[in-house]
Amino acid sequence: MKLPKNYRFIEIYLNNLNEEDKRKLKEYNINENLFPSNTLFNYPGFIKCLNTWKIIFSIEQWILAIINSKGLQTTIQNLYPSNFDQRLSSSRLFYKLLFKIFIESEAKLNTLEVIMVRDMDHDCFNDVFNLILQNQDFIYNIKNLKLQRIANGSKIYPFLKFLYSNCKSISSLYFQFPRFNNNNLLTENYFLKIINSQENLKKISFERNYLFKGKFLLSLKDSNCLNTLNTIIFYRIDFKKIIISNDEFEKLNVLESIHILYCYSLNSDFIQQVANLTKPFKLKSLFMDIMLQIDSLRLLLQKSGHYLENIGFGSIISNELRKQFELIIKYCKNIKFFEFPGFDNLNIYLSFDLIKNIDQNLNYLSIDFHYYLDYYHNRTNNNTTSDNMDPSSVVLLNLGQILPRKLEYLNLSLNFDIKNLEIFLQNSQNTFIKKFLIRNKMQEGSDHILPSIKKYIMKKERVKYLAIMEVYFEKREDLSFMKDEVKEFESYNVKVQNYNDLYVQVYDLIKEMD
């Protein structure tokens, strides 16, 4: 979750306060001179997306910024008191005033993200909810609702009731609740009511959710969203008690994509339920941390392999992975995103076969290797035959010539040898890569790769965005912090970005795709 770097935007909003509210601020040593004298637009009225946690965090950081700039003891005491209750009171006041400004400016939200990690977050939001009840147009027509990390579900029951009774135009729902929550059963029922009350619901996302269990699909049989719901995302969900029956699944008339990302209990019982469905199970994404039984995977891919577009193996390293690759090569011809963070020489060659098999569709490719495998390899193998070559070298010597002509994204996290890197760059010279990420896992005696990148990438303008991070134990060096180098790359129309910023998180990519 990216946070704002400049918290002074709060002052622009507070400039819209009425005189009575401005007088309240003086109690906290906030002077009106702090606010801009003139603003060109009604900024609060243009607000379309609100994240509750970002607002409270920004308020706290803004207060600290004022303290640091003024350096006044009275400001510290009044604005950011050491007493927790007083500190909570000041943050709650600013939080409530900001929402009051948004509401009185007649803002109408499109997206509301409610994140409540602490009891303090609940208290602040409850203050605001009373304002919302008096001005329901503020969130009446929200299209995207995100409920995440709710520390105490029972504290938002009035808000949940309001949602399923009044807000029926939500098109995208996101739920993420912690394992331990008060009265899970009642909270679950409220969320099911929110789902079933929607008239245009298109997407539901569940992340690390310990609600619903087997009830979710069963509850949809009389839902308003049967003719609108087209995407369901499961992210780190336990499928142990999930029930999929023909009767309920058949009624999802426009369901086009199901995404299963690093979920648990993908066992034979669940997969047999999928195989028994008469309607297609349009599984678009399958990312696994835990090895599936071969027979179960075969059943799943026979049913859904034709629809599969995004696949990854987490950090799985096993002899069984070879058999899984063989099944994927056989049943999956439409892969667009392939993530392979963890390999050895037992399975890397099969991954090359898969890449060649899907090169017409492949658009995102991420390949990683694990230090311990490379360390083990170097300790146990003393010859340089291809079978015993270190995994990073195998990738660099074999990957370039099998890449498609164009890639949206390529991430290589390897131990780069200069000679082998240049072979890779020469072999892939006919491939244009929009976003090229390199994470060089350096060892003692490793060379820096930047000269080779300049020669084969920069001067030939083969990429649009480039990110390079060199890692040596705990040390990190990112190309984006080297100003002179960044300018040189930009002179060749190559935009250098921070590695972590350009790196694609699977869940975020799936959300963007749908």
pLDDT tens-digit map of 279-324:
999 999 999 988 888 999 999 999 999 999 999 986 666 667 788 8
Query: What residues are paired with 232 via a beta bridge?
Result: 204, 258
Highest mean pLDDT among 14-23, 28-37, 120-129, 371-380: 120-129
CA–CA distance, 277 with 280 (Å, rounded to integer): 7
Q: Provide the pLDDT for residue 29.
A: 66
Return d(Cα 191, Cα 209) in angstroms, integer. Answer: 12
The tokens for 250 are 């058949």
Per-residue pLDDT, averaged over 462-490, amounts to: 94
Q: Return the bridge partners of 410, or none.
A: 365, 436
**Percent of all residues in the chain with a pLDDT value above 70, rounded to a whole number:** 82
Can you give the pLDDT at residue 137? 95
So what's the pLDDT on residue 299?
96
pTM of the model: 0.88
CA 345, chain centre distance (Å): 31
Give the whole-number percent of the chain exceeding pLDDT 90. 53
- Between strands 463-472 and 283-287, the pairing is unpaired
pLDDT value of residue 35: 67
Give the DSSP letter of residue 448.
P
CA distance 225 to 251: 10
What are the tens digits of pLDDT across the range 38-69? 666 678 889 999 999 999 999 888 877 776 76
Task: Say if residues 236 and 207 touch (Cβ distance below 8 Å).
Answer: yes
CA distance 425 to 423: 5
A 10 A CB-CB count for 6 gives: 10
Question: Which DSSP state fits 105?
Answer: T
**Contacts for 486 with CB less than 8 Å, ≥ 6 apart:** 479, 480, 496
Quote the pLDDT of residue 74: 46
Axis-axis angle for helices 320-331, 294-304 (nearest 10): 10
The segment with the largest mean pLDDT, out of 55-69, 84-98, 176-190, is 55-69
Q: Pick from 251, 269, 210: which is nearest to 234 by CA? A: 210
**Poorest-pLDDT segment among 79-93, 217-231, 429-443:** 79-93
SS3 assignment, position 43:
helix
Strands 406-414 and 283-287: unpaired
pLDDT score of 84 more than 60: no
C-alpha 288/C-alpha 509 separation (Å) is 16
Res. 336: pLDDT tops 50: yes
Tally the C-alpha atoms within 13 A of residue 296's C-alpha that lie toward its C-beta: 15
> What are the distances in angstroms from CA 466 to CA 314, 425, 493?
24, 14, 11
Distance, CA of 430 to CA of 400 (rounded, Å): 9
- Tokens for 111? 């997206």
Q: For 213, left (φ over 0), alpha (ψ -120 to 50), or beta?
A: left
* pLDDT in the model for residue 447: 78
Low-confidence winner among 129-143, 155-169, 212-226, 416-430 (lowest mean pLDDT): 212-226
**What pLDDT does residue 388 have?**
65
Segments making up each domain of the chain, as ranges: 1-108, 363-514
The answer on pLDDT for 332 being more than 70 is yes
Q: 414 with 396: CB under 8 angstroms? A: yes
Element housing 127 (H / E): helix 119-134
Q: Which residue has the tokens 């006041």?
A: 93
Backbone angles phi, psi at 496, to 5 degrees: -85, 130
| 71 pLDDT more than 70 | no
Q: What is the pLDDT of residue 33?
A: 64
Q: What is the full DSSP assignment across 272-337?
A: HHHHT-SS---EEEEE-SSPPPHHHHHHHHHHHGGG--EEE-TT---THHHHHHHHHHHH-----E
Return the residue matching tokens 């600290």: 64
Confidence of residue 377 (pLDDT cuts 50, 70, 90): very low
Looking at per-residue pLDDT, the higher value among 76 and 92 belongs to 92
Angle at alpha carbon of residue 261, lines to 497 and 309, rounded to 5°: 75
